[in-house]
Amino acid sequence: MELLKPAAALAFALALAAPASAQDRTGTLAKIDASGEIVIGHRESSVPFAYLDENQKPVGYSIDLCMKVVDAVSAELGKELSVKYVPVNPKTRIALMANGTIDLECGSTTNNLTRQEQVEYLPTTFITGTKLMVRKDSGISSVADLDGKAVALAQGTTNERAVKAAIKELGLDVKVLPVRDHAEGMLSLETDRVDVYATDHILLFGLIAKSKTPDAFAVVGDFLSFDPYALMVRRDDSAFELIGKKALAEVFRSGEINGIYAKWFDPLDVAQTDLLKAAFQLNALPE
């Protein structure tokens, strides 16, 4: 914190010098108001949450929900906003949010308490957990079968920690190959470099659907972790967070969420679980 004192003092001085705006906005809202643009951090290969379509434009379930938030911010500020897209990955998303590069992260980010020391989350938009993807002929049906096998894990994900913890707990001898992203994890499995790739089960379905031989792979085992996804916003910025909460509550309350969900998940044949329905219900707060 010592380092930030001069910066804070400068910001304070500037704030005093600047003419007070009509609403005295602070934080992210003030930043967006001043620049007229909102910066969205998005993932590039998290099907169907946020990925690049054939025109290299970010699309997906999380992007659609983010657009609802953007509309709400636009209505709040009473002006049209331009949207700037910045690609992020698991390693960069927290830092880019903390340092003010992006205002809203739309992807497949797990809301957990350690991360909340640096960032804040809007209400849960999806619930998943870690599972194992294997080749059907591998004979692996749960973590207990991993002894002597090789598993690929994406660096910097909650899944990496969940699988490592499970392996440790059972005292298994497993070779772990750290990979950069889902694409590389899938490649490692396809080329037989590893026997397993583990990540959020919903992303595994997406990977299998996109692979050349969808019938050769299966998702197995119990959930090794509880991963509620949420859109990420900056910490200690309740004004901006509230607009996001309101926008999502509106989407949940009106049932609009069902249409958006169906649009992205029906092709994957993944229905809303009771748990997810409950999460939507709980966050459909009254105005």
Residues of this chain that interact with other proteins (CB under 8 A) are 1-4, 7, 90-91, 94-95, 98-100, 114-115, 117-118, 150, 155-157, 160-161, 177-180, 187-188, 191-193, 234-237
Report in angstroms how near the CB of residue 225 gets to other proteins at its nearest: 15
By C-beta, is 54 or 117 nearer to other proteins? 117
By C-beta, is 119 or 276 nearer to other proteins? 119
From CA 232, how far away is CA 37, in angstroms rounded? 18
Report in angstroms how near the CB of residue 91 gets to other proteins at its nearest: 5
Report in angstroms how near the CB of residue 191 gets to other proteins at its nearest: 6
Q: Around 117, how many Cα atoms within 13 Å sit in the side-chain half-sphere?
A: 1
By C-beta, is 36 or 178 nearer to other proteins? 178
Report in angstroms how near the CB of residue 105 gets to other proteins at its nearest: 14
From CA 47, how far away is CA 30, in angstroms rounded? 33
From CA 207, how far away is CA 237, in angstroms rounded? 35
Q: What are the backbone angles phi and psi of residue 57, rounded to the nearest 5°?
A: -100, 140
Report in angstroms how near the CB of residue 201 gets to other proteins at its nearest: 21
Tokens of 183: 């694409």
Question: 37-42 and 82-87 as β-strands: parallel, antiparallel, unpaired?
Answer: parallel
Q: How many CB atoms lie within 10 A of CB 216?
A: 14
By C-beta, is 236 or 287 nearer to other proteins? 236
Report in angstroms how near the CB of residue 57 gets to other proteins at its nearest: 25
E-strand stretches of 4-138: 37-42, 45-46, 50-52, 58-59, 82-87, 104-106, 119-128, 130-135
Report in angstroms how near the CB of residue 7 gets to other proteins at its nearest: 7
Sheet with 45-46: list strands edge to edge: 45-46, 50-52, 58-59
By C-beta, is 119 or 133 nearer to other proteins? 119
From CA 55, how far away is CA 203, in angstroms rounded? 22
By C-beta, is 64 or 195 nearer to other proteins? 195
* SS3 assignment for 7-29: HHHHHHHHHHHCCCCCCCCCHHH
Q: What are the backbone angles phi and psi of residue 125, rounded to the nearest 5°?
A: -110, -15
Nearest residue to 256 (alpha-carbon basis) of 284, 228, 231? 284
Report in angstroms how near the CB of residue 66 gets to other proteins at its nearest: 21
By C-beta, is 7 or 17 nearer to other proteins? 7
Tokens of 263: 């649009």
Tokens of 154: 């994406």
By C-beta, is 15 or 282 nearer to other proteins? 15
